[in-house]
Amino acid sequence: MNEALSRAESLIRTIPDYPEAGVLFRDITPLLADASALRAVIHALVEPFAGEFDVVAGVEARGFLLAGAVAMDAGAGLVPIRKAGKLPRPAASVDYALEYGTATIEAHDDIRDGMRVLLVDDVLATGGTLVAAHALVERLGGSVVGTSVLMELEALGGRALVGDVHAVFAA
């Protein structure tokens, strides 16, 4: 790992017992506030998939922050994948399990048939969110060409469900 990425990783804080007891929350806001760290991370998220996608799909909520920057860096469009009830005209939805509950994600029909999609999220934990995001993209007619996350929480085993994922950092 290069010096810029090592420095970026050092800015991620671990907050115990948030949002509930037993969960170790990864606070990326110090990294987001540092321009050089953010730039290094965005380049690392895009690099393995450069030139292979038409649009970036970012998963709510912290995935939006990264996906917007990834889309700008790659010269691609951005499609938000939102929690249920946040979109005025959802075209598709998928239910999934979190490590501490259940949820539903939705998207508009901005992903067209055959569109190549790079999925971006902040953390790969149990994998439920990203499995649902894959299903949502496919339901809309798109093809996921890659999944890129800031951090993989290896002990939670999400990669076994999601498959091949590019993680900038692992914990």
Please pick, among 7, 39, 99, 138, the residue that the annotation labels catalytic: 99
Is 99 annotated as catalytic? yes
Q: Which of 26, 60, 62, 82 is catalytic?
A: 62
Active site residue 116: no
- DSSP state string for the chain: --HHHHHHHHT-EEEET-SSTT-EEEE-HHHHT-HHHHHHHHHHHHGGGTTS-SEEEEETTHHHHHHHHHHHHHT-EEEEEEETT--SS--EEEEEEETTEEEEEEE-TTS-TT-EEEEEEEEESSSHHHHHHHHHHHHTT-EEEEEEEEEE-GGG-HHHHH-S-EEEEE-
Q: Which residues form the catalytic set?
A: 62, 99
